[in-house]
Amino acid sequence: MVKKTLSRIYIFLIFLFLYAPILVLAVLSFNRSDSRVSWGGFTLSRYVACFESESIMSAFATTLEITFCSAVIATIIGTLAAMGISSMKKRGQAIYLGATNIPLLNADIVTGISMMLLFVRFTNLGFVTVLIAHITFNIPYVILNVLPKLKQANRSTYEAALDLGASPVRAFFTVTWPEIRSGVFSGFLMAVTMSLDDFSITYFTKGAGVNTLSTMLYAQLRKGIKPELYALSTILFLTVLLLLIATNINGDKKVDNRLIRRVISAVIMLALFTGSVFVLVQQHRISGGGDRTITVLNYGKYIDGELLDRFERETGITVKYEEYEEPEEMYTKYKAGAISYDLICTSDYIIEKLIEEDELLPIDDSQLTNYENIDPALIEMSTFDPSHQYTIPYFYGTLGILYNTKDYSEDQVKSWDLIWDKQVSGHLIMTNSVRDAFSPALIACGYSINDTDPAHLKEAQMVLSRQKPMVSAYYVDETANEMIAENASLAVCYSGEAALAMDENEHLKYIVPDEGSNLWIDSWFVPKSCRNYQDALTFLDFLCDNEVALQNFEYVYYASPILYVQTHMDIDDRLNSAINPENRVTRNCEVYRALDNDTSAYLNTLWQELKSQ
């Protein structure tokens, strides 16, 4: 009896372990508060927002589409393969099964990378490459589910059917198929599960703009998760749970059991199928919008979506808008020739690198009627584009310290010295971006943030190593949430993050220390791959329009180079140094210069060394 109770408790604990995160997400999905920590009352608005969010719905649709298509194709290829393998001799079987084990047992990351290397050599990364990758890792699951059934299936019945005059195809469907059907179905289900759950392989084989739920979440994890996703996850979970309960309740009654199961699986199939068709049609509509289409690549959450609609309405130009998260990721893929765009927005030092590599087309500012709206000081500061002919500034900001006024006074944080001090131990969030982390360290050592002397970089690394034990975590985009939740009281971060955090927690303040810091400028450029130069310029001109820029500012909340915005924004915002760096501040700041390959690699090595300590 004691033993029974103990085992019950054990099972309960394991289930709690497995399902606790799901429950937490479900609870959070009804939370009115944006914070992930405190309860702000019950709401269903997340669910509404979830269905209204285009990015979530499109990632969800892509996920379903990839899952369903890859599972179906893998099931067909895998079932055929299993039949082929089962009619082979022992030796052949062993070889095939060995090969089947490779994608099954190989590390996901290696599978993903190997396919990425193959794909970028021959084609662009995109939906199809993800699909191929998923099919590849799904096939083994189908084979391993079907093969045992084929072994059990009696070959003589198949031969008997032939003997009785059935054609091979007919014999297969009337005799063999019923015996292996359950194996095929569980193989399919397995493939669906694996596909739904995959992250690593999708991550490496996806092109910019193609997101499954996993990769979208991974990207958002750094930008902060939208609470709508909790709603989506809860809906997903409940759907699956209901299906499970339905199949199992009916499992007791033997009579209709099979029929019901068949109906349910038919319903799932139909739902997946219609969903996929719907999305395919929609995607087709978006991509096949005629000649006047521009493909735009931008950071995630970096434009007001309404403006895109307005632009399309006003000009009749279709915008194929895609997002990315890490500039290095964009650069790597761009260099591999895996993506082609008409217009790209990215960070200063990446642009400098691309200019050096002669990857950009000059922008003819005479065609931009709104060019004079741009603050000339910002154009002047765009030192990464010395001839000022390749870029149009979009937003800018600083790197500084976000602090909680309950724990620190303004005097304390006026200098970078504080983040090297023992008293911040355990409360400090350091930035997880290589250059941003090195910048304060280089400043502390008395060097420029663009210093390339290996000895100086090494010195800066020493400073960072001494700091590491005191750092609570290295974050980039989670910083805001952690600071809002007061899990830390000091953070090195961008002004944009800081502005977001300060909006949520009144105790937070942002400062750029007196020693100076990085001033970053994100700008638009036209890559050589551009196919629709005229319309790309029309889009740029649109973005420089005063009212458009103001609306966009109110969404993005970073400092805008458009003079009109600087004078017409809300007075609080104007005084907010996080959003609007004062001249005193910007004077001390430097814009990043592109690093040469050796320095870049060396910096990366130093960073990895630091992380592994």
Partner 1 sequence: MNKRTGRLLAGPYLFWMIGFVILPLLFVFVYAFTNSDGNISLEAFRTIFTATNAKAIGLSLELGLLTTVICLLLAYPLAMILNGLKIKSQSFIVFIFMLPMWMNFMLRILAWKQLLNKNGVLNAFLSLLGLPGIDILNTPAAVVFGMVYDFLPFMLLPIYNAMSRIRQDWIEAARDLGAGNLLILVRIIFPLTLSGVISGIVMVFVPSLTSFAISQILGGGKVLLIGNVIEQDFMQGNQWNAGSSLSMILMIFVLLSMAIMNLFQHDEEGTQLW
- Does 132 participate in binding partner 1 (rule CB under 8 A)? yes
CB of 347 to partner 1, least distance (A): 13
Q: Which of 304, 312, 421, 486 binds partner 1 (CB under 8 A)?
A: 486
CB of 488 to partner 1, least distance (A): 9
Stretch that binds partner 1, among 20-28, 396-404, 512-520, 524-532 (CB under 8 A): 20-28
Stretch that binds partner 1, among 140-148, 292-300, 338-346, 577-585 (CB under 8 A): 140-148
CB of 371 to partner 1, least distance (A): 34
Stretch that binds partner 1, among 241-249, 269-277, 284-292, 562-570 (CB under 8 A): 241-249
User: How many residues belong to the site for partner 1 (CB under 8 A)?
Assistant: 115
Stretch that binds partner 1, among 47-55, 165-173, 276-284, 560-568 (CB under 8 A): 165-173
Q: Which is nearer to partner 1, 311 or 592 (CB)?
A: 592
- Does 11 participate in binding partner 1 (rule CB under 8 A)? yes
- Does 106 participate in binding partner 1 (rule CB under 8 A)? yes
In the 8-state DSSP scheme, what is residue 22? H
CB of 249 to partner 1, least distance (A): 11
CB of 359 to partner 1, least distance (A): 14
CB of 77 to partner 1, least distance (A): 5
3-class secondary structure, 415: coil
Q: Which of 1, 2, 18, 571 binds partner 1 (CB under 8 A)?
A: 18
Q: Which of 49, 118, 308, 361 binds partner 1 (CB under 8 A)?
A: 118
- Does 71 participate in binding partner 1 (rule CB under 8 A)? no
- Does 83 participate in binding partner 1 (rule CB under 8 A)? yes
CB 222 within 8 A of CB 478: yes
- Does 58 participate in binding partner 1 (rule CB under 8 A)? no
In the window 183-202, what residues touch partner 1 (CB under 8 A)?
186, 190, 193, 196-200
CB of 568 to partner 1, least distance (A): 38
Convert residues 540-569 into a mask of x (bound to partner 1 by CB under 8 A) and - (unbound): ------------------------------
- Does 269 participate in binding partner 1 (rule CB under 8 A)? no
Size (the chain), residues: 613
Distances (CA, A) of 606 to 419, 463, 468, 599, 611: 20, 12, 13, 10, 9
Q: Which of 1, 2, 5, 17 binds partner 1 (CB under 8 A)?
A: 17
573, exposed or middle or buried, with CB in 10 Å at 0-12, 13-18, 19+? middle
Q: Which is nearer to partner 1, 14 or 377 (CB)?
A: 14
Task: Say how far residue 4 (Cα) sits from the centre of its chain.
Answer: 46
CB of 67 to partner 1, least distance (A): 10
Phi, psi at 511, each rounded to 5°: -145, 145
- Does 261 participate in binding partner 1 (rule CB under 8 A)? no
Q: Which of 50, 103, 349, 579 binds partner 1 (CB under 8 A)?
A: 103
Phi, psi at 595, each rounded to 5°: -95, 150
Give 106-171 as a DSSP string: S-HHHHHHHHHHHHHHHS--SHHHHHHHHHHHHHHHHHHHHHHHHHHS-HHHHHHHHHTT--HHHH
Buried b (16+ CB within 10 A) or exposed e, 361-395: eebebeebebbebbbeebbebbebbeeeebbbbbb
Alpha helices in 224-361 (DSSP H): 228-252, 254-287, 305-315, 327-335, 348-356
Stretch that binds partner 1, among 76-84, 309-317, 455-463, 547-555 (CB under 8 A): 76-84
Q: Determine which helix (DSSP H) or strand (DSSP E) holds 522, and give its type and residue range.
A: strand 519-527
User: Measuring CA to CA, which residue among 269, 266, 267, 289 is closest to residue 277?
Assistant: 269
Stretch that binds partner 1, among 324-332, 365-373, 404-412, 570-578 (CB under 8 A): 324-332
First to last CA, the chain: 50
Q: Which of 34, 312, 328, 504 binds partner 1 (CB under 8 A)?
A: 328
In the window 575-604, what residues touch partner 1 (CB under 8 A)?
600-601, 604
- Does 135 participate in binding partner 1 (rule CB under 8 A)? yes
Q: Which is nearer to partner 1, 105 or 571 (CB)?
A: 105
Distances (CA, A) of 491 to 368, 497, 528, 597, 609: 39, 10, 39, 29, 22
Q: Which two tokens stand for residue 324?
A: 């990315």
Q: Which is nearer to partner 1, 60 or 557 (CB)?
A: 60
Q: Which is nearer to partner 1, 333 or 509 (CB)?
A: 333
In the 8-state DSSP scheme, what is residue 447? -
Q: Which is nearer to partner 1, 147 or 540 (CB)?
A: 147
User: Measuring CA to CA, which residue among 573, 575, 543, 535 is closest to residue 561?
Assistant: 543
Contacts of 215 (CB under 8 A, 6+ apart): 59, 199, 202, 203, 206
Tokens 């761009």 locate to 334
In the 8-state DSSP scheme, what is residue 483? H
CB of 321 to partner 1, least distance (A): 22
Q: Which of 218, 273, 420, 555 binds partner 1 (CB under 8 A)?
A: 218
Q: Which two tokens stand for residue 47?
A: 């669910």
Q: Which of 16, 40, 52, 151 binds partner 1 (CB under 8 A)?
A: 151
CB of 27 to partner 1, least distance (A): 9
- Does 10 participate in binding partner 1 (rule CB under 8 A)? yes
Distances (CA, A) of 360 to 225, 343, 369: 34, 10, 21
- Does 229 participate in binding partner 1 (rule CB under 8 A)? yes
